[in-house]
Amino acid sequence: MTAKTLNSLLYEHVARIGKALSSPKRLELIELLAQGEKSVETLAAQAAIDVRLTSAHLRALREARLVETRRDGKYVHYRLSGADVAELWVALRQAAEEHLIELRVALERIASHPEALAGESRESLLAKARSGEVIVIDVRPQAEFAAGHLPYARSLPLDELERRLAELPADRSVVAYCRGPFCLMSDEAVRLLRAHGYRAHKISDGVAEWSMHGLPIER
């Protein structure tokens, strides 16, 4: 009797984490936080959620101990409580991709295939980036690049890409990446680069996926 009650208490605790992961908006906030710490305002803007609702969702994540806060003057910066939280998000997303056909279909519709860099391992891409054979560009906002990025990558935020095209040598192949498979910025970047005559591809990895596979992240 007592043992039964105590035992079900354990599951209740774990369910608190599950509950925190049960809202699409909270998942989007987690993905954004996986790119580095951000203020409530920034999160609200980037996820296109009302600031007050964003605050409420962050509260829920904080009560599940998935995020922590740091006050800096007027701003409160949120960050994930650990790398394992980003890994949990990726694991959840991968399980969804594996079992929900609807999700796979939706993904294929949105992130069109031809942009993807096919048949190249992370390791060989890393080697090519090191040698300069390909140029890896990080098209996320600069702050996210600063918080951690792929080795040898250059920061070239999507909204600056067009007017900074001159920085990219026209004879080199370009590989773009952004926040992860759900992020469309790298697709947009590839489209733009190709329209200007570049040989461009994307990889769907974000820093969380990259680092989960044992590869290094630079700061």
Determine, following the binding rule CB under 7 A, whether residue 52 of this chain makes contact with DNA.
yes
Of residues 59-98, which lie at the interface with DNA (CB under 7 A)? 59-60, 69, 71, 73-77
Would you list the DSSP string of 166-202?
GGS-TTSEEEEE-S-TT--HHHHHHHHHHHTT--EEE
Return the number of the residue (61 or 86) whose C-beta is nearest DNA: 61
From DNA, its own copies, none, interface partner of 64 (C-beta below 5 to 8 A by class): its own copies
From its own copies, DNA, none, interface partner of 52 (C-beta below 5 to 8 A by class): DNA
Backbone conformation region of residue 33, classed left if phi is above 0, alpha if psi is from -120 to 50, else beta: alpha
Task: With contacts defined by CB under 7 A, name the span among 36-44, 115-123, 159-167, 196-204 that binds DNA.
Answer: 36-44
For strands 173-177 and 134-138, give the pairing.
parallel
Give me the amino acid identity at 195. A
| Cβ-Cβ contacts under 8 Å for 113 (sequence gap 6 or more) | none
Return the number of the residue (134 or 206) whose C-beta is nearest its own copies: 206
User: What does the binding site for DNA look like in residue numbers (CB under 7 A)?
Assistant: 19, 22-23, 25-26, 39-41, 44, 50-53, 55-60, 69, 71, 73-77
